[in-house]
Amino acid sequence: MISRYEEVYRDWKSDPEAFWAHAAVAIDWLRPWEKVFDANDGPYGRWYAGAECNTCYNAVDRHVAQGRGEQLALVHDSAVTGSQRKITYGGLLNDINALAAVLTDKGVKKGDRIIIYMAMVPEAVVAMLACARIGAVHSVVFGGFAAHELATRIDDARPVMIIATSCGLEPGRVVAYRPMLDKAIEQATHKVSACLILIRPQQPHELVEGRDLDYAQAVNAAAGRKVPCAALKATDPLYILYTSGTTGQPKGVVRDNGGHLVALAWSMGAIYDTRPGDVFWAASDIGWAVGHSYIAYAPLFIGATSILYEGKPVGTLDAGAFWRVVSEHKVRVLFTAPTAFRAIKKEDPKGEFIGKYDLSSLKYLFLAGERADTDTIKWAEEKLGVPVIDHWWQTESGWPMAANPAGLGMLPVKYGSPTVPMPGYDVQVLDDAGHPVKRGELGNIVVKLPLPPACLPTLWNADQRFREAYITEFPGYYKTADAGIIDEDGYIYIMSRTDDIINVAGHRLSTGAMEEVLSSHPDVAECAVIGISDHLKGQVPCGFIVLKSGVTRNELEIERDCVALIREKIGPIAAFKTALTVKRLPKTRSGKILRGTMQKIADEEVWNMPATIDDPAILDEIKVVLNSHGIGVRN
């Protein structure tokens, strides 16, 4: 099939408003827009101004109304508990209605925020959609974050309620949520008065009187009730999803209703080549942007079946876990992070488990969230025999900014590149002064404003922070904070971040936030955290601490404290296992810590002595400490 990409991208570029008006036909609107794009609303404009719609209606009700009530909407496959649950569109609608009734009975109104702190269970998706139905704004917090991270989000989102599970299930470990919930609620200044708790059989949860309500009891009592879909402005917020910023204060990425519906529905056909009735599996977590967009929302927007998988690629039984799910549920498209494939490849290098399953339903593997290394892509291509598509996006965009659009016909693959910009994204590369660089030269990757539908219109209650973080540095452009290249053929290459964000197993983490935690240790005078290469997780954090003078405690003990502190404050997901005591940190004469040079030493990359370094001898000291821990020494 000859790719229609060029033609479609050109159509978009020649008249973006006509393009997005045409794409919007796929959505059921309660009221049409006055302007496809209103440039005068918000920091850079808003899509579908004046229109009204309801996200839940588009995800569920309309499919039931069109006779798809018996089709599967969600399949929960839990490799950790060995159980499965299949939910039809009709069943999902009933569950959403019941929960929406519980929420409205509790006084939840349009615009109120609800935090969802849940494991990978269908009720988490039901909770998201019930919020969408009544116009409450959900904010899902990933289960691997600890109490402090939850508290920060409570204080920023100021929710009226938290919906939680009693636990999460990690291989060999039940993670009780109640202690984290209690601690976060106590720590937050904004007081949450109501929690709805889904009690799982693996972990009891003693309900706190006056605060907690039993989810199952409440929805059972509300079974059969119907709650109408609220008429919401296309520009009303659907959800807030917090993502790492450069400080410990995460950024509340806002997603609106109308633009999100249009762009995500468009992406399912054009990018993922998925149609109503197909089975789509994003092997991620609903706590991340991928999970929001491609587990809970986009597959349902088009009437496909979405798989909700609770487990790991390896370790929840064996390295054949993914292939079992694909074959049992006839998955057409699998979307995950490269790290999952590196984990599978490590355990099953010959792909022996792959041969044990019928994978004939699988047509594509999409990878995103971090750089996909060529070895892993080639291994997956060879073993699976399907196209492996690296595509690039961010929590902020909510859908791919660059991809090889399978639904439009694939373009030739260039390993190392997530291919070309999608319609909506005019991607350019600028130098630090904001001038375009030559094709093939490295620079700051930016997107010409306005961003397309579904991208964040702003940060929650923080227009100014949005401007400073994204649109001030390169006027007229959105700064992605990724550095990269566009080649002669227009292919994009994402090389690294330009800020202090690191990517650990496809999870985005702020080294700045980790430094804030380490600095709070009473024995630590100063610190620096860098991301160093890891063959499995892509990167892992490594902390350097300088102790206060006069500290007599054993260094190893303090290092262990630091590791425990990050786990306690940020959560196990930070994968912070290495804290190294050093005498001094390398700095420029103006006092800036040379994190980049330290990272190059740790990763054995070529590095030049920074001209502005205060004392070059410190880099040797750092090298000695790293080497003594086996880091930065080829083995």
Given ligand COA, ligand AMP, none, residue 505, with its beta carbon under 5 to 8 Å by kind, binds: ligand COA
Task: Select 30 or 483, whichever has its Cβ closest to ligand AMP.
Answer: 483
Do you know the residue count of the chain?
635
Residues 484-503 close enough to bind ligand AMP by CB under 6 A: 494, 497, 503
In the block, tokens 């996909």 appear at 372
Burial group, residue 179, by CB count within 10 angstroms (0-12, 13-18, 19+): exposed
CA 108 centroid distance within chain = 27
Residue 457 to residues 18, 48, 450, Cα–Cα distance (Å): 20, 12, 10
Under 8 Å CB-to-CB from 127, ≥6 apart: which residues? Answer: 99, 114, 116, 118, 138, 163
- Binding piece for ligand COA, criterion CB under 6 A, among 4-12, 219-227, 333-341, 483-491: 333-341
Residue 305 burial (CB count, 10 A): 26
Contact 566, 496 (CB under 8 A): no
Question: Torsions phi, psi of 494, nearest 5?
Answer: -95, 120
Task: Select 412 or 522, whichever has its Cβ closest to ligand AMP.
Answer: 412
Site string for ligand COA, 73-102 (x = CB under 6 A): ------------------------------
Residues 222-251 close enough to bind ligand AMP by CB under 6 A: 243
Q: What does the block give as tokens for 539? A: 């990167």
- Binding piece for ligand COA, criterion CB under 6 A, among 183-191, 225-233, 376-384, 568-576: 568-576
**Position among 392, 399, 460, 466 found at the interface with ligand AMP (CB under 6 A):** 392
Given ligand COA, ligand AMP, none, residue 575, with its beta carbon under 5 to 8 Å by kind, binds: ligand COA
| Closest to 81 (Cα-Cα) out of 203, 178, 216, 185 | 203
Asked whether position 175 contacts ligand AMP by CB under 6 A, the answer is no
Question: Torsions phi, psi of 545, nearest 5?
Answer: -125, 140
Asked whether position 175 contacts ligand COA by CB under 6 A, the answer is yes
**Position among 284, 316, 417, 503 found at the interface with ligand COA (CB under 6 A):** 284
Residues 425-484 close enough to bind ligand COA by CB under 6 A: none
Given ligand COA, ligand AMP, none, residue 371, with its beta carbon under 5 to 8 Å by kind, binds: ligand AMP
**Position among 195, 321, 340, 594 found at the interface with ligand COA (CB under 6 A):** 340
Q: What does the block give as tokens for 554? A: 């054993």
Q: How far is the CB of 440 from ligand AMP (least distance, A)?
A: 18
298-301 LR contacts (CB < 8 Å, sep 24+): 298/264, 298/265, 298/267, 298/268, 298/399, 299/268, 299/274, 300/59, 300/60, 300/63, 300/73, 300/129, 301/27, 301/58, 301/59, 301/261, 301/264, 301/265, 301/268
Burial group, residue 475, by CB count within 10 angstroms (0-12, 13-18, 19+): exposed
**Position among 52, 482, 515, 561 found at the interface with ligand AMP (CB under 6 A):** 482
- Binding piece for ligand COA, criterion CB under 6 A, among 178-186, 246-254, 301-309, 503-511: 503-511
Site string for ligand AMP, 371-390 (x = CB under 6 A): xx-----------------x
Asked whether position 539 contacts ligand COA by CB under 6 A, the answer is no
The amino acid occupying position 25 is: V
Asked whether position 418 contacts ligand AMP by CB under 6 A, the answer is yes
Please state, in angstroms and rounded to a whole number, the distance separating the CA atoms of residues 232 and 406. Answer: 33
Q: Which residues bind ligand COA (CB under 6 A)?
A: 143-144, 168, 170, 175, 284-285, 288, 290, 312-314, 337, 339-340, 343, 369, 505-507, 572-573, 575
Q: Which residues bind ligand AMP (CB under 6 A)?
A: 243, 289, 368-372, 390-395, 418, 480, 482, 494, 497, 503, 508
